[in-house]
Amino acid sequence: MANTAQARKRVRQADTRRLRNMSQNSSMRTIIKKFNKMIESNMIKEAKEFFTDVVKKVDTMVTKKLIHLNRASRLKSRLSKKLAAHSSK
């Protein structure tokens, strides 16, 4: 248990940040799931338009230091490969 006023405040700040980060991570996962669902249901044109939103969201997560730059690059690469593979069919 936090004994000093400073320690109690740091616990409050950590809780606030944890909740905010969880919300941001959840929204990123949701937008990626939505993109994958578009591809699986052959809505390729909509998925191409939505891909820019996905990339923007992932880049925002990097800026906020919620995911690592390499993870974001890997994720964008995999999603673009998936989009390219389905759009060529």
pLDDT tens by residue, 10-26: 999 999 999 999 999 99
How many other C-beta atoms can be found within 10 angstroms of the C-beta atom of residue 50?
17
Domain that holds residue 51: 5-87
Average pLDDT value for residue range 54-62: 97
Q: Which two tokens stand for residue 87?
A: 């759009």
Average of pLDDT values for 25-32? 97
pLDDT-derived band of residue 87, with 50, 70 and 90 as boundaries?
confident
Total tally of structural domains belonging to the chain: 1
Integer angstrom CA distances of residue 39 from 36, 46, 61, 79, 85 = 5, 9, 23, 10, 10
CATH code, domain with 64: 1.20.58.110
pLDDT band (50, 70, 90) for residue 53? very high
